[in-house]
Amino acid sequence: MAIRNIILEGDPILSKKCRKVEKFDDRLAQLIEDMIETMNVNNGVGLAAPQVGVLKDVVVIQVDKDKNILELINPEIIKSDGVQEEVEGCLSCPGEYGITKRPMHVKIKAMDRLGNECFYEGEGLLARAFCHEIDHLSGILFKSRTVRMLERAEIDR
Ligand code: NI
């Protein structure tokens, strides 16, 4: 496994649309392993492949240290309802936080690293993480989903 560099806001890679994964091979497994290590070392809740410079539909999420790491290949939101407004940040926008409007419940369809179809449901933070990371695959950063950005004084508190 290897820690990869995280691409920061301003780099055009982060606004590109990713491609679907078609080959479920060792190279994909390596990318997933590296993304997990990179997310963990940076204390992230999730990471999308474009954040490490790979324009593929791959996401890893771990909302809680005690919970399983989710590996989502070609993820799509298939249902969402409710609404939540909570503070959100992104490893590609260090030190910046904003309040986003997101659905409270989200159902997604994805594939695992072997290409098997799988379904997940998330509520609260996990629902936000699904939306945030899947947005990255379309080149969308959380800052375009904010109701407002936090001021420095609110962050330091
Ligand atoms: Ni992000």
Q: Is residue 2 part of a domain?
A: no
As beta bridge partners, residue 48 has 59
Q: Classify the phi-psi angles of 137: left when phi > 0, otherwise alpha if psi is within -120 to 50, otherwise beta.
A: alpha
Q: Is residue 63 part of a domain?
A: yes
Q: Is residue 49 part of a domain?
A: yes
Q: Is residue 25 part of a domain?
A: yes
Catalytic residue, chosen from 9, 71, 133, 154, is 133
- Number of folded domains that form the chain: 1
Write the pLDDT tens digit of every residue in 11-39.
999 999 999 999 999 999 999 999 999 99
The answer to whether the CB of 144 falls within 8 A of the CB of 132 is no
Write the pLDDT tens digit of every residue in 39-80.
999 999 999 999 999 999 999 999 988 778 999 999 999 999
* Distance (Å) from CA 81 to ligand 1 centroid: 22
The answer to whether the CB of 99 falls within 8 A of the CB of 134 is no
* Distance (Å) from CA 135 to ligand 1 centroid: 8
Active site residue 33: no
* Distance (Å) from CA 22 to ligand 1 centroid: 24
Q: What is the CATH number of the domain that holds 18?
A: 3.90.45.10
Q: Is residue 1 part of a domain?
A: no
How is residue 26 written in tokens?
Answer: 């060792």
